[in-house]
């Protein structure tokens, strides 16, 4: 992970953080009843009106009551009629074809004159196909097939007593910090162990790690940690978990290599013995679960979805995904396995909601390469490219352009160097050693022979690019002839630091390539049409939108309803909600403890809650120090008390304020009972209380108040 001291991601706001009252989560949903707020939302209506696709999914459900219009081959005839009749009448001919909803589908051909409800007015029509018994039967048969096809989950044995419970411990109500537990009575698996970023009120906190209390509570039945991919928000908290609890880890090679790097950093070298390298398309028996990793496209390679066979039925978890039909390594999403599981019937789908507000498709990673072609052509001097250090394909694409343009590659930045090294060692990046140079070799080459790949695309203070922009980098001094490509977008909360970086770069005079090239960066997460594709391939009975803040999962739920999932079969969860999933129902059964632990990246240690609370108070309201000697005999201050403040009153008002406090103190002491003066702690508390009241009244502030009292 890059040093992220300046990371202001403010979307992370779960758990036991100070000042929770500022951002209450008004969205917490406590039952499995559909969210009433969802109903009237704009998108919902839009979706229905614009595309008409939602309408039949309500009542009647399209999948249960197929629209006979789809089978209608004589659209011509009905259209002719529509010109002569009103719109309602226009539906009549179609209705003639509608199977009797009360009639159970079967092989027996029905009587067209009765069940079809046709006849009336039909006599007037000429040259129209006659609905005979054979045709009726064919229509019924097709409807039956369609119904089965559209509801594959109906194959699930409803009488099965199997049940599983799913509990997100991070990643809901926030972007990042993904961690969840899937369990039966006897066994449990942890899905991903991610970290997230603090908001700007958590001073000195670098990363947030999910609370592991619930894992401690059920540790005896936990069989494994199951990892979907190597992003920080899915594996970043692994070393912190392993310092408390250890379990076998199942993941693909790149994710495990990245976990290994973390373990090495945290002195957990020996824990690589918990590694289990998985092969995609192979099923692993883990406790009560059979788990298959399905290849998925995303902004990191070797990413996977999970198909999990459980005693209750099959669950599919997309994990982070986009559907890239032209990925750089040629390995597309394993849609075939998605279709396979979908056809067999999936009880519940869990799907990534990060981009659920984006219409259309997320563009392929390949488009960035085309932009790089243009930018490399335009660049006359050095090219400095910055992106997320885990985006292997992005980095590879830049390196590939460099090789073709005869540029040497210099990788700068701790996480970038480490990831490039790892992915090259694993064979995911195939670029010969001869193309790489060390940073001290850069001056040996002419400017148009250099590509620098570096960290800092989020404007992180400590990252290499920011240090270059500040002219603080030991080796690289920026020049006006340089082209800086920022191949990333600001993660919500990082906008200010990215903007600050851009200001500095522009001031130095380099050519900055950022958002004016639309395809300089593409997202790694699915937009609505991709979410729909997954929903349609799986067509699950139950749907749990995951990975996102409440508005993201609510939007994703709308998309699911538009794709035929019954609104009542969707639950909008928050971290800590435990839902029970059986073939019959999906419902919230309880809430478990969740929260965040604060981590200081400088020493990889935990920062206690009260420390962060004190820092917040100091930052927002300042501090008052009172040092005084009090004589018990006459209940008076001996000499002059020392009163100092920081961050509360301006220096010029210091004296005046000190006088106020002094008077306050004297009055308070005179009114105290003599025996109360004997208790040192009590006196300090009284002083604290009195000063607090005064400051709240006069300044509307809540500073830290530290009285140091000597009673003589
Ligand atoms: Zn990811």
DSSP string, 277-294: E--TT-EEEETTEEEEEE
The neighbouring-strand residues paired with 207 are 599
Task: Specify the range with the lowest mean pLDDT, choosing from 5-14, 429-438, 545-554, 624-633.
Answer: 5-14
Question: Ligand 1 centre from 184 Cα, in Å?
Answer: 27
- Checking if the pLDDT of 6 tops 50, the result is no
Task: Specify the range with the lowest mean pLDDT, choosing from 57-61, 229-233, 517-521.
Answer: 57-61
Mean pLDDT, residues 363-392: 95
Compute how many other C-beta atoms are within 10 angstroms of the C-beta atom of residue 359. 9
Q: What is the pLDDT of residue 530?
A: 98
Question: Ligand 1 centre from 562 Cα, in Å?
Answer: 26
- Which ranges in 31-151 belong to alpha helices (H)? 42-51, 75-84, 87-95, 112-115, 133-150
- Checking if the pLDDT of 615 tops 50, the result is yes
What is the rounded CA–CA span in Å between residue 70 and residue 531? Answer: 24
pTM, two decimal places: 0.76
What is the rounded CA–CA span in Å between residue 442 and residue 476? Answer: 8
Question: Ligand 1 centre from 234 Cα, in Å?
Answer: 7
Question: Ligand 1 centre from 351 Cα, in Å?
Answer: 13
Question: Ligand 1 centre from 559 Cα, in Å?
Answer: 21
pLDDT tens-digit series, residues 285-327: 999 999 999 999 999 999 999 999 999 999 999 999 999 999 9
Question: Ligand 1 centre from 534 Cα, in Å?
Answer: 17
Q: What is the pLDDT of residue 79?
A: 36
Is residue 492 very low, low, confident or very high in pLDDT (cuts 50, 70, 90)?
confident
pLDDT tens-digit series, residues 174-205: 888 999 999 999 999 999 999 988 877 888 77
Mean pLDDT, residues 13-42: 38
Is residue 14 very low, low, confident or very high in pLDDT (cuts 50, 70, 90)?
very low
Q: What is the pLDDT of residue 108?
A: 42
The neighbouring-strand residues paired with 286 are 289
Q: What is the pLDDT of residue 354?
A: 94
Residue 60: cis peptide before it, omega within 30 degrees of 0:
yes
Please check whether residue 586 is in contact with residue 565, taking contact to mean a CB–CB distance below 8 angstroms.
Answer: no
Mean pLDDT, residues 278-286: 98
Question: Ligand 1 centre from 235 Cα, in Å?
Answer: 10
Question: Ligand 1 centre from 362 Cα, in Å?
Answer: 14
Mean pLDDT, residues 244-265: 96
Q: What is the pLDDT of residue 125?
A: 61
Mean pLDDT, residues 267-275: 97
* CB-based neighbours (< 5 A) of ligand 1, an ion: 231, 320
pLDDT above 90: percentage of residues in the chain: 60
Is residue 123 very low, low, confident or very high in pLDDT (cuts 50, 70, 90)?
low
Question: Ligand 1 centre from 186 Cα, in Å?
Answer: 30
- Distances in Å between the Cα of 131 and the Cα atoms of 96, 109, 113, 119, 655 are 9, 12, 9, 10, 100
Question: Ligand 1 centre from 110 Cα, in Å?
Answer: 53
Please check whether residue 555 is in contact with residue 363, taking contact to mean a CB–CB distance below 8 angstroms.
Answer: no
Q: Mean pLDDT: which of 14-28, 602-616, 627-641 is highest?
A: 627-641
The neighbouring-strand residues paired with 586 are 581
Q: What is the pLDDT of residue 616?
A: 78
Is residue 675 very low, low, confident or very high in pLDDT (cuts 50, 70, 90)?
confident
Question: Ligand 1 centre from 331 Cα, in Å?
Answer: 17
Q: What is the pLDDT of residue 629?
A: 87
Question: Ligand 1 centre from 356 Cα, in Å?
Answer: 15
The DSSP secondary structure of 608-658, one letter per residue, reads -HHHHHHHHHHHHH-EEEEEEEEETTTTEEEEEEEEEEESSS-GGGHHHHH
Is residue 11 very low, low, confident or very high in pLDDT (cuts 50, 70, 90)?
very low
Q: What is the pLDDT of residue 528?
A: 98
User: What is the residue-averaged pLDDT of the chain?
Assistant: 83
Question: Ligand 1 centre from 229 Cα, in Å?
Answer: 7
Question: Ligand 1 centre from 47 Cα, in Å?
Answer: 28
Mean pLDDT, residues 370-383: 95
Strand order of the β-sheet with 636-646 is 636-646, 623-631, 704-711
- Checking if the pLDDT of 590 tops 90, the result is yes
Q: What is the pLDDT of residue 597?
A: 86
Question: Ligand 1 centre from 304 Cα, in Å?
Answer: 10
Is residue 20 very low, low, confident or very high in pLDDT (cuts 50, 70, 90)?
very low
- Checking if the pLDDT of 588 tops 60, the result is yes
Question: Ligand 1 centre from 572 Cα, in Å?
Answer: 21
Question: Ligand 1 centre from 233 Cα, in Å?
Answer: 7
């Amino acid at each position: 992970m890059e040093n992220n001291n300046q990371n202001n991601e403010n979307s992370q706001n779960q758990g036991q953080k100070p000042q929770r009252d500022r951002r209450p989560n008004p969205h917490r949903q406590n039952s499995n009843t559909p969210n009433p707020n969802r109903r009237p939302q704009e998108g919902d209506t839009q979706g229905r009106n614009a595309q008409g696709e939602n309408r039949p999914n309500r009542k009647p459900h399209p999948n249960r009551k197929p629209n006979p219009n789809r089978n209608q081959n004589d659209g011509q005839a009905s259209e002719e009629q529509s010109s002569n009749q009103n719109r309602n009448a226009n539906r009549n001919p179609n209705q003639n074809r509608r199977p009797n909803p009360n009639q159970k589908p079967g092989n027996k051909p029905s009587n067209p004159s009765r069940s079809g409800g046709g006849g009336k007015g039909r006599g007037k029509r000429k040259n129209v196909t006659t609905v005979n018994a054979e045709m009726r039967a064919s229509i019924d048969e097709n409807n039956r097939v369609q119904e089965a096809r559209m509801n594959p989950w109906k194959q699930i044995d409803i009488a099965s007593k199997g049940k599983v419970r799913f509990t997100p411990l991070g990643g809901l109500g926030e972007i990042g910090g993904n961690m969840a537990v899937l369990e039966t009575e006897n066994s449990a698996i942890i899905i991903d162990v991610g970290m997230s970023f603090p908001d700007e009120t958590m001073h000195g906190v670098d990363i947030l790690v999910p609370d592991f209390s619930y894992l401690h509570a059920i540790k005896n039945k936990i069989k494994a940690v199951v990892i979907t991919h190597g992003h920080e928000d899915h594996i970043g908290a692994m070393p912190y978990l392993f310092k408390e609890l250890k379990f076998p880890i199942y993941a693909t090679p790149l994710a495990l290599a990245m976990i290994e790097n973390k373990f090495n950093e945290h002195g957990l070298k020996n824990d690589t013995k918990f590694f289990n390298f998985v092969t995609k398309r192979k099923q692993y028996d883990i406790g009560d679960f059979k788990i298959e990793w399905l290849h998925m496209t995303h902004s990191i390679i070797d990413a996977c979805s999970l198909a999990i066979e459980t005693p209750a039925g099959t669950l599919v978890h997309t994990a982070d995904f986009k559907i890239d039909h032209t990925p750089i390594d040629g390995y597309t999403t394993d849609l075939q396995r998605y279709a396979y599981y979908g056809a067999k019937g999936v009880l519940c789908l869990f799907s990534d909601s990060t981009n659920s507000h984006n219409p259309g498709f997320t563009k392929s990673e390949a488009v960035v390469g085309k932009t790089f072609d243009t930018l490399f052509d335009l660049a006359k001097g050095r090219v400095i490219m910055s992106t997320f250090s885990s985006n292997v394909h992005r980095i590879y694409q830049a390196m590939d352009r460099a090789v073709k343009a005869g540029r040497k590659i210099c990788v700068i930045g701790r996480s970038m160097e480490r990831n490039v090294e790892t992915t090259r060692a694993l064979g995911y990046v195939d670029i010969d050693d001869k193309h790489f140079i060390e940073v001290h070799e850069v001056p040996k080459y002419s400017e148009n022979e250099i590509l620098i790949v570096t960290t800092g695309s989020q404007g992180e203070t400590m990252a290499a690019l920011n240090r270059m922009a500040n002219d603080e980098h030991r080796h690289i001094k920026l020049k006006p002839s340089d082209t800086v490509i920022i191949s990333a977008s600001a993660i919500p909360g990082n906008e200010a630091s990215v903007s600050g970086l851009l200001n500095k770069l522009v001031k130095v005079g380099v050519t900055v390539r950022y958002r004016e090239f639309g395809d300089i960066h593409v997202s790694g997460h699915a937009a609505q049409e991709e979410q729909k594709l997954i929903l349609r391939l799986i067509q699950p009975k139950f749907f749990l939108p995951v990975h996102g803040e409440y508005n993201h999962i609510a939007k994703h739920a709308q998309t699911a309803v538009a794709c035929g999932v019954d609104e009542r079969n969707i639950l909008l969860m928050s971290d800590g909600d435990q839902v029970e999933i059986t073939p019959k129902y999906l419902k919230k059964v309880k809430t478990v403890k969740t929260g965040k632990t604060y981590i200081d990246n400088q020493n990889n240690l935990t920062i206690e809650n009260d420390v962060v609370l004190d820092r917040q108070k100091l930052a927002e309201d300042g501090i008052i120090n009172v040092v005084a000697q009090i004589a018990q005999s006459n209940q008076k201050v001996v000499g002059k008390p020392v009163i100092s403040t920081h961050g509360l009153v301006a220096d010029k008002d210091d004296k005046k304020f000190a006088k106020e406090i002094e008077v306050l103190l004297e009055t308070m002491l005179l009114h105290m009972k003599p025996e109360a003066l004997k208790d040192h702690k009590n006196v300090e508390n009284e002083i604290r209380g009195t000063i607090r009241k005064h400051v709240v009244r006069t300044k509307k502030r809540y500073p830290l108040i530290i009285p140091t009292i000597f009673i003589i």
